[in-house]
Structure 1
Amino acid sequence: MSNVSKTNVSNLAPLANSFRLEPALITITNLRLRTYIGFNEEELSKQQDVVINAEIRYQASKACEADSEDLALNYKVITKAMIAHVEQGHFRLLEKLCADLLTLAMEEPRVINASITVDKPHALRFADSVSVTLSGSRNAE
């Protein structure tokens, strides 16, 4: 029988000190929104679909140890800010929209790094979508 199967749940906290916990990865998948995006006349006159995927890393060790939502990164707050920005905005380029969303994610001081992908479905004939991905990391202090 392995040691894992013998481990009592109440004994897990001391075991956590035997390894280094890597930053948590929060993934927001296929956030479907509508916005004005593009620069030709038709694109400027009607909202189009965009699909957003985000990966956000933060150090979650304190949240894991305490099992407390107060210590966890509130991804709902970040997502709501993204939704409001996209739905209220007008963008010429996917790159601009993607950069804005990355900035919103990185505004949370506990975020170590983030990667945002914005897809524009049916932007090209014969293609499912066109996408832009941007990533950012917190400067080491």
Structure 2
Amino acid sequence: MPTSNAIIKITNLRLRTYIGFNQEEREKMQDVVINIEIHYPAQHAINEDNVEEALNYKKVTKAVIKHVEAGRFLLLEKLVSDVLDISRDHCWVQFARVTVDKPHALRFADSVSLTLEYQRD
């Protein structure tokens, strides 16, 4: 069987943090919705059914939660970049994509989102 890439998707992780540079945004926590996609080679996990051979998405999620909820961010770009760094931290990760939505950021829009990607060379 050829090498297979696993694609982990963490969908609609809803957290609260301080995000924004306006005075009100710096004083009041806001909702953010985080979506993460991580690609890694899964051949060993597939063949051996061994937990040690799989990327631990629960560990990634806990690190994201801790960082986001304890953080203060002026820019959405910084928040997304930090979450992307956490998501690609494991040496097996070949590709990662993070999108963060900031609901109610604009008066007539459901949300504003920003996406960043990482690709191993």
Give the TM-score normalised by structure 1: 0.84
1:1-141 matches, cutoff 5 A: 17=1, 20-139=2-121
Displacement of 1:26: 0.1
For structure 2, which runs of at least 5 residues remain unmatched after alignment?
none
Please give the alpha-carbon distance, in whole angstroms, between the structure 1 residues aligned to 2:8 and 2:84.
Answer: 14
Residue type at the aligned position of 2:116 = L
Displacement of 1:22: 3.1
Residue type at the aligned position of 1:117 = T
Please give the alpha-carbon distance, in whole angstroms, between the structure 2 residues aligned to 1:94 and 1:23.
Answer: 29
Displacement of 1:21: 3.5
Residue type at the aligned position of 2:112 = V
SS of equivalent residue, structure 1 residue 82? helix
**Percent identity for Structure 1 against Structure 2:** 59
SS of equivalent residue, structure 2 residue 60? helix
SS of equivalent residue, structure 2 residue 80? helix
Cα deviations by residue, 1:52-100 (Å, 9 ceiling, x for unpaired): 0000000000000001111100011111110000000000111100000
Residue type at the aligned position of 1:29 = T
Please give the alpha-carbon distance, in whole angstroms, between the structure 2 residues aligned to 1:124 and 1:61.
Answer: 44
Residue type at the aligned position of 2:113 = S
Please give the alpha-carbon distance, in whole angstroms, between the structure 2 residues aligned to 1:75 and 1:138.
Answer: 19
Displacement of 1:126: 1.2
Give the TM-score normalised by structure 2: 0.97
SS of equivalent residue, structure 1 residue 78? helix
Cα deviations by residue, 1:110-136 (Å, 9 ceiling, x for unpaired): 111100000000100111000000000
